[in-house]
Amino acid sequence: MIIQEMVDILQAEVVAGATKVDNVINGGYASDLLSNVMSQAKTGDIWVTMHAHQNIVAVASLLGLSAVIIAGHVQPDKEAINKADAEEIPLLTTALSVFEVVGLLYSKGVKGV
């Protein structure tokens, strides 16, 4: 599955990294604790969070994540958007809750750790 398919399923908006929506999703991870994501998420995962600051992009870039989904009507700050564009990390936003996003991802075959 690729990021663009998730955009459609989640009715998400691509706010940064639009040139990489063809990234393949290998798995998924959900957490708001950055150190937890750094120790548990895997390259190619899609990360679901409610954080919206530029540190999420740094973590995604460090790990080689496919994308970051910011759930729950949370909007990223300008620095996060600019950094995600520069790092070519797809940054998606959705009105759905983290719980709903993870459920939809799982139902479409995206598995986690």
Domain with residue 12: its CATH number is 3.40.1390.20
| Assigned domain for 102 exists | yes
| Assigned domain for 91 exists | yes
Number of domains, the chain: 1
pLDDT-based confidence at 92, cuts 50/70/90?
A: very high
The reported pLDDT for the residue numbered 112 is: 87
Average pLDDT, stretch 84-112? 96
Domain span at residue 60 reads: 3-107
| Assigned domain for 94 exists | yes
Q: Give residue-wise pLDDT tens across range 16-64.
A: 999 999 999 999 999 999 999 999 999 999 999 999 999 999 999 999 9
| Assigned domain for 97 exists | yes
DSSP label at 2?
B
| Assigned domain for 112 exists | no
| Assigned domain for 50 exists | yes
Average pLDDT, stretch 59-73? 98
Q: Cα dist. 21→38, 55, 84, 93, 99 in Å?
A: 22, 21, 13, 13, 22
| Assigned domain for 23 exists | yes
Name 78's Cβ contacts closer than 8 Å, sequence gap at least 6.
none
